[in-house]
Amino acid sequence: MDFKLWELLRHCVLVYMILELQWRPVVSAPEEHKSCSDLLSTISLSKLLHHEAKDLLKHYITFHGPRSNSSTEDVPDSTVSGVNVSEKLQDVYVKNELFRLHVLKVVQHHSEIFLNKEPVVGPLSRVKDRLLYHSIKVKHLLAGFFPDVPLPSKPALPRLTAGHTYAKKEYGWLVLVRLRDWEEHVLQLLEEMKNMCGQQRLKRLLHTFNSLL
Of 166, 164, 169, nearest in space to 61 by CA: 169
Chain centre distance of CA 184: 9
pTM: 0.77
The end-to-end CA distance of the chain, in Å, is 13
In the predicted model, is pLDDT for residue 156 greater than 90? Answer: no
Q: Is residue 91 part of a domain?
A: yes
The tens digit of pLDDT for each residue in 57-105 reads: 998 888 877 766 666 677 889 999 999 999 999 999 999 999 999 999 8
Which structural domain range is residue 72 located in? 34-199
Q: Is residue 88 part of a domain?
A: yes
Phi first, then psi, for residue 134 (nearest 5°) are: -60, -40
pLDDT for res 59: 86
Q: Is residue 165 part of a domain?
A: yes
Q: pLDDT class for 12, splitting at 50, 70, 90?
A: low
Task: Please give the residue that has the higher pLDDT: either 159 or 178.
Answer: 178
Cis peptide before 119 (omega within 30 of 0): yes
The tens digit of pLDDT for each residue in 190-200 reads: 999 988 886 55
Alpha carbons 65 and 117: distance in angstroms, whole number: 15
Alpha carbons 89 and 185: distance in angstroms, whole number: 11
Task: Please give the residue that has the higher pLDDT: either 37 or 90.
Answer: 90
Q: Is residue 15 part of a domain?
A: no
Q: What is the CATH number of the domain that holds 122?
A: 1.20.1250.10
Q: Is residue 210 part of a domain?
A: no
Q: pLDDT class for 25, splitting at 50, 70, 90?
A: very low
Alpha carbons 157 and 110: distance in angstroms, whole number: 18
Task: Please give the residue that has the higher pLDDT: either 45 or 169.
Answer: 45
What residues contact 62, with CB distance under 8 A and at least 6 apart?
119
Q: Is residue 175 part of a domain?
A: yes
Task: Please give the residue that has the higher pLDDT: either 26 or 166.
Answer: 166
pLDDT for res 113: 76
Alpha carbons 140 and 30: distance in angstroms, whole number: 15
Of 105, 108, 95, nearest in space to 49 by CA: 95
What residues contact 94, with CB distance under 8 A and at least 6 apart?
152, 154, 155
Q: Give me the chain's average pLDDT, please.
A: 79
Average pLDDT score over residue span 151-172:
80
Of 102, 122, 119, nearest in space to 168 by CA: 102
Query: Considering its fold, how many domains does the chain have in total?
Result: 1
Task: Please give the residue that has the higher pLDDT: either 164 or 95.
Answer: 95
pLDDT for res 177: 93
Q: Percentage of the chain surpassing pLDDT 90? A: 42
In the predicted model, is pLDDT for residue 170 greater than 90? Answer: no
Q: Is residue 82 part of a domain?
A: yes
User: In sequence order, what DSSP letters do the residues of 154-200 get, joined into one string?
Assistant: PPPPP-----SHHHHHHHHHHHHHHHHHHHHHHHHHHHHHHHHHHHH
Q: Is residue 23 part of a domain?
A: no
Task: Please give the residue that has the higher pLDDT: either 119 or 95.
Answer: 95
Alpha carbons 131 and 133: distance in angstroms, whole number: 5
pLDDT for res 202: 47
Average pLDDT score over residue span 178-201:
87
What residues contact 210, with CB distance under 8 A and at least 6 apart?
none
